[in-house]
Amino acid sequence: MKQKFKALQGIYEAFARETAPFRREAACTKGCAFCCTDAGRIDCTTLEGLAIRDHIQRMPRARQTSVKKALKQDMKRREAGRPSPCPFLMKTRACMIYDIRPFACRRIYSLHRCSKEQPPLISRQVMALAAGTIKALQHLDDNGYSGHLSYILHMLDAPRFLATYRAGKFKPEEVMAFGKSHGIVINRMMRDAVPSPPPDNAP
């Protein structure tokens, strides 16, 4: 796992390096948090989820309790089809897990100020690089899955699934029912799929 976490960091860093020239034009400012409240699903792989889970377990007890409560609320709201802000967004509108935030949060930025009417605007080149990075993440997490953050953390909370995953084994039957009902995808099936082209309005 240690080596996989190191490789995960390498993938994040390569993406940050390659996309830095495009981000110079970004309209994002500290405290905006539009992407953490209004931009839909926050996907991660099981490997990214495990890094976040380990981080939660190192938090003080009181914070762990409040984070777990927020994750459960997020799950319930999303299962009911209601909008839900990220459980890791603090009252200060800062990210509680910024250093280990998943790739879904690292790839997003916007060339204009966002609003409900104006979702984030990302350049085509960054979208293409992000599609390649997602494949690399799914390749790295070959015995894992991808899906919304709180769903992946919920899966990792199941001792049997966690033991299977940590052992590097692949038993999709263990998560079949939950996966189907919660839009979880199997990484090894997705990594070879052809990515969809960027939308026509991308710059």
Q: Which residues bind ligand SF4 (CB under 6 A)?
A: 36, 42, 86, 88-89, 95, 97, 101, 105
- As measured in angstroms, the least distance from the Cβ of 100 to ligand SF4 is 9
CB of 129 to ligand SF4, least distance (A): 19
Q: Identify which of residues 55 and 191 has a Cβ nearer to ligand SF4 in the complex.
A: 55
| Spatial distance between the Cα atoms of 11 and 136, rounded to a whole number of angstroms | 8
The single-letter code of the amino acid at 129 is L
Q: How many residues does the chain have?
A: 203
* Amino acid at the residue 9: Q
Q: Between residues 51 and 111, which has the closer beta carbon with respect to ligand SF4?
A: 51
What is the distance in angstroms between the CA of the first residue and the CA of the last residue of the chain? 38
CA 57, 63, 68, 70: dihedral to nearest 10 degrees?
A: -150
Between 29 and 201, name the residue whose CB sits nearer to ligand SF4: 29
CB 195 within 8 A of CB 135: yes
Smallest gap, in angstroms, from Cβ of residue 142 to ligand SF4?
24
Q: Closest CB to ligand SF4 among 123 and 150?
A: 150
Query: Least Å distance between CB 198 and ligand SF4?
Result: 22
